[in-house]
Every structure is written in structure tokens, then in C-alpha cells.
Amino acid sequence: MTQQTRELAIGQPDAKARTVPVVLSTETPVDRGDFVEVLDHSTWASIDLSRAPLPLIESHDQRQLPIGRVDGLRLEGRKLRGIARFGTSQRAQEVFQDVLDGTVRSVSIAYEYTGNPTRQGDGALRFPFRPLEVSAVSVPADPAAGFFRSYPMTIDETVEPITTLTRSQRRAIRADEDGERSAVEMERLRVTEIDGMCNSFNIEADDRMRMLRDGVSVSDAKKFILAQLEARSKSVQSLSGYTPADWYETNPQAREFSISRAIMAAASGDWRKAGYEREVSAEIGRRSGRDTSGLFIPVGALAPQRRDGYSTLTTAAGGAVVATDLLGGSFIDVLRPRCRVLQLGATVLSGLVGNVDIPRRTAAGPAQWITEGQSLTQGQGAFDVVSLRPRTVGSITTISRNLLMQGTPDAEMLVRADMVAGLAAAIDLAAIKGTGAAGQPLGILNQAGIGSVAGGTDGAAITYDHLIELAGVVAVANADGPAQGYLLNPQTITALLKLKTTQGAYLVPVGASNGETVAPAGGGFAPGSDRPAFTALGFPVAASSNVPSDLTKGAGTNLSAAIFGNWADLLIGEWGVLEVLPNAYASGAYEAGAVQIRAMQTIDIAVRHAQSFAAMKDAITS
């Protein structure tokens, strides 16, 4: 056995400048259990220095502040070298003195792989890498790395005697080599797949290195990554009671919050009568880390269009709520499309912060029947994520100053209900037919992969058969769930209600004892109601004018869409609160003594599984 000793000339320190030359890393092989790792120092192309200069810390403890930095990085002799510059803190001075005294000699880097490895002739895997930090350590993985010193590195070389092999021995050696090559190829695939998943789902570098080092299987790595994604979705923080949709109902003190009073105070700058509203707005801003020149309102509601303002001049424009002779319960709300997707069971994620990724399993590992003593084959499930990203909707409306000042509590309810109804319309519109462009989410009807029921070349008159087929498509895809239902437009519901038997009797009895009997089962048509219009096959049927009625197919025009689905798989994400900016000096509002209000809200909508929905897009309703 031959031994070699290598002297590393690292350079000299500068006590005045508090600098020490250092070798950060070399190509010394490191045994990671299932494979031998070599960090590629052959060219600059294999080293990503985007994080330079690198922080200098102790023992990879990233919870502590750095004691210095390492800059002046250069590649010499397949070694990454640099200059360690120590800080002036007490701890930095102590470590610097230990380095000068030779007490602290070794360094180690934290890094992440930046690409797939290549196989060396000896079987080791060469990885391109990105250094993240440099640590002073007691026992390094790379003994050739360290602060200035001469370090003898002994390399053992064993010389095997040359012998003459028989044919059987050569055949056995070839079989062993083939097995080794197969094992090497499997290891390469394992490393490549785990590294790719970690890159795709932003897994921490330490976790990625641990899985590669410890020989974690691809299946176990998927389970770990899925658990990480689930933990991320659960860790999304809420704004502590200011953002849930039912905030007014669950917090008794919240009933003191007056939108009208807050708007008047923000418009005039006089908060003496709106101290509580100002306190709530300031607290919301503090918790969400946002600033506004207007105010934050703990109500998630706004409409995406400009509309006529309210005044006290006419009943339809708000005059009906002035306290001349009005009873508080007599206010008649303005009719507008209601948020049917929420009533059907869409999942609401409120108070989100930042981007949100929700894990979605796209394929499960197969279950297997086995005999006694037989081993289960490891299944390969698959998953990805559903992403929710902040999208902004907004409204501009004008409210009469007299309405804000003279109204009874119903005036407050008018302003509040109008904002809520506007948001309901915005959610319905985006959830049903959002284009995914110009800031809109992608709606159900434009999702790739939803089920389809076709009427005919030019469309077909809607019947109960089509409703049955829609439910069947979802069931066949094993996507049925606890919140299934139909969403139709009023034209389609009217056409269904007009269907008759061959004897001329309505399929939907009119004037039954409960007034709500519908074939084949359920409750009757209830226009203007907050509950579903009726049921079919035991599933609720809701109406929304946002379901298209102007589609074309072949020669057919003015065709309607019909949607069936498991609405729990429709995700509605809401970030924070409603941001309102009143402007009493806007053109038109100032002259009329009114207040113009701009409201902004951040919402996104996504479908967790496209197979959970099916649609007919060619229904003839007239």
C-alpha cells in the first residue's frame, strides 16, 4: 500500500484587515451512504456564485447572525478559494483569534445541487453546485478545506496483484460489473428524480441533501414532499379575525364598526366620531403589513364595475332609507346575481398571505393482493400543486353624503350589502367563465379536462336526460363528492320547468301542497331566493345569470351552458380585507356633495380537480 502526503499552501492572514485566506471546497470525495459525492470544481460553469459574497457563520447555525463574510472567490487547482473577512462583534473577534491561534482550522460549506450529476470512472457522482454559506466547524466533511494552514492529506493507494483469471472467473466478474452498472444507473435515476422534485416544489436545500445522502427512495421522497406542501398550506396565517366572511356575526364588538362612519371620516380627515373604525383599520394594516391612504374594512366585498351612485333623491337611488318615516326592516335590496357557487359548497380560504400552493394527488400508488410471504411492490403515486395567486378586483361607486349622514341602520346595511353583492357577482362570473386572461382567474367552463355532455350538431333542447348524463360523467371519473349540484341560468331552469308529460301535465307540479315538489325529487323553483331553485336526482339546482346563454354551436345560437360538479373542489382564495379609498373631491362627486369610493380586493379562484366538473355548452332553452 502506497501513502501520499499533500501539503496545502493556503496563504497568510492580515490581522489589521481581519482577513484570512480560506479554501471553501475541493473535489475531495465524500461518502453519502448510497453514493460517493464529488463537488465539481472543473470549470466555473459548474459553480453558481449567485449568492456571493457568502456569509461566514459557525457550525451551519443559520439562526445566528454572521461573524463575517467570504468574498474574493476564485477557482484555482480545482479548489474554490476566497478571503474570509471577520466582523467586529465580540463573537467575531473571538473566532478570529481562535483562527489565528490555529484552534479553529476547518471550514464547511452549505450548498445545493444546481443540475444532474455525472458519473466518474470510479463510480462517484460529480454535482454542479451553488454555495450558500461558509461555516467554521470542528469536523469538516472535506478535510482539504480550511483556513490558512499546511494540512497533510494522506491518500491510500492499494496495488492489487495481477493474476490470470479463468473463463468462469471472468464471467463472474462481468456479471458483477453488469450488476454494478445497473445499481449505478438506478442510483442516478433516484438522484435525478428526487432532485427534480425538490427543484419543482422549492424544497429546502438541507432536506434535499438529506434525502440524497440517506438513500431515501423516490416513493418516500414523494411522501415527504407532499407532507411539506400540506404543511405549507396549513401554515398560511389569517389576520386574526378581521378577514373571515362571518366576522360581523362572530365578533360582537364588530357590530360597532360602521362603514358609513368610516367612509365619512376618511373622506373628511376628521376621525373624532370614528375612533373605533380607525383603530380597526390601523390594526388590519399592521397585521397585514400594508399601508393605505384610505382605510381597511373587515368585509370581503366589492364589485368589478362602475355603476350609478346612491342618493336620497329617489327611492330606487337610496331615498327609501332616509329616516323620515321608515321602519328599519322595510328596505328592499336591489336585485342582482347572487353568489351561487358559494351556496353550492365552494371551498373558501380566507385571510391568505403570499402565494399559496395546495397539494393535489394526481395518481395513487396501486393497492395489491398478495399471498403469504409475498412482498408488496412499491407503488409510485404522483402529485402536483394547485396554485392560488393574488388577483385584484375593484369597484368605483358614488354615495350621497346625505345618505351617509341621514340614513337609519338600513343605510349602513345598504352600503354593506351592495359591496357584498358586488363581490358575489364577481366571484360567480370568474368561477363560471373566467378567461384566465386580463387578470381574471380561469373559470370552470374554460378549464381543460372537465367532463362534457353534447346535445347535438346545432345544440339540443335541454331535458332531464342531460342532467342525468352530467352527473354520470362526474361519477364515472370517480370525482363525485359531498357538495355536488347543478348550476344553470334562469333560461335553462325555465325550460326545465315547462317540460310536460305526454298527457300534457307539467313534470314539475305547480301548486302542490308544499309548493315545491319537483320530479324526480326535491323542492320547487324559488326565484329570488337565497336557496337553490330546486333539486334533481337529489342534487341541488342553483340559478345564476352568469351562466352563459349566448353560446353558439354549428347553426345554433343563443345556446346555454349547464354545469354539474363537486363544488368543494372549487377553491376561492381571499387575501386580507377590503381596501377602500373615499374621494370627496372627485369630478362629479364634489359638485354634488357626494363621496366617490374606490374599493380593491384580492381574490383568486382555482379548480382542484377538473374531473370534478362536467358541462353542457349547447342547450337550447327556447
pLDDT in tens, 77-120: 888 888 899 988 888 889 898 888 888 888 888 888 888 888 88
294 has pLDDT over 70: yes
Cross-strand partners of 58? 136
First-to-last C-alpha distance (Å) of the chain? 95
498 has pLDDT over 70: yes
- Strand 556-566 with 551-553, pairing: antiparallel
- Per-residue pLDDT, averaged over 196-216, amounts to 77
- Per-residue pLDDT, averaged over 325-330, amounts to 29
For residue 610, the SS3 value is helix
301 has pLDDT over 70: no
> To 5 degrees, how large is the angle CA 367–CA 370–CA 374?
120
157 has pLDDT over 50: no
What is the predicted pLDDT for the residue at 381? 54
Task: Give the range among 230-239, 453-462, 554-563, 609-618 with minimum mean pLDDT.
Answer: 230-239
Higher-confidence residue of 5 and 396: namely 396
pLDDT in tens, 506-552: 887 654 434 444 433 333 334 444 455 578 888 888 888 899 999 99
338 has pLDDT over 60: no
For residue 414, the SS3 value is helix
Listed residue (317, 347, 353) closest to 332, CA to CA: 317
pLDDT in tens, 461-486: 999 999 999 999 999 998 888 889 99
pLDDT in tens, 178-188: 555 556 667 77
For residue 41, the SS3 value is coil
232 has pLDDT over 60: no
Higher-confidence residue of 334 and 49: namely 49
Element (H, E) at 177: helix 167-200
For residue 544, the SS3 value is coil
For residue 451, the SS3 value is strand
Give the residue ranges of DSSP H helices in 325-408. Answer: 340-343, 401-406
What is the predicted pLDDT for the residue at 212? 80
Burial class, 548, CB count within 10 angstroms (exposed 0-12 / middle 13-18 / buried 19+): middle
CB atoms within 10 A of CB 200: 11
Q: What is the spatial distance between Cα 617 and Cα 510, in angstroms, rounded to a whole number? A: 29
Q: Under 8 Å CB-to-CB from 121, ≥6 apart: which residues?
A: none
Quote the mean pLDDT of the chain: 73
Q: What is the spatial distance between Cα 3 and Cα 117, in angstroms, rounded to a whole number? A: 30
To the question of pTM greater than 0.75 for the whole model, the response is no
- Per-residue pLDDT, averaged over 249-268, amounts to 65
**614 band by pLDDT with thresholds 50, 70 and 90:** very high
- Grid coordinates 298527457 are at which residue? 503
Q: Output b/e per residue, 317-334; b: 16+ Cβ within 10 A.
A: ebbbbbeeebeeeebeee
pLDDT in tens, 21-65: 999 899 988 887 777 888 998 888 888 888 888 999 988 887 788
Reading the block at residue 223, the C-alpha cell is: 411522501
Q: Under 8 Å CB-to-CB from 145, ≥6 apart: which residues?
A: 22, 23, 24, 25, 26, 28, 106, 107, 108, 109
Q: Is the peptide bond before 53 cis (omega within 30 degrees of 0)?
A: yes
What is the predicted pLDDT for the residue at 242? 38
What is the predicted pLDDT for the residue at 213? 78
pLDDT in tens, 270-288: 888 878 778 777 777 776 6
Q: What is the spatial distance between Cα 549 and Cα 491, in angstroms, rounded to a whole number? A: 8
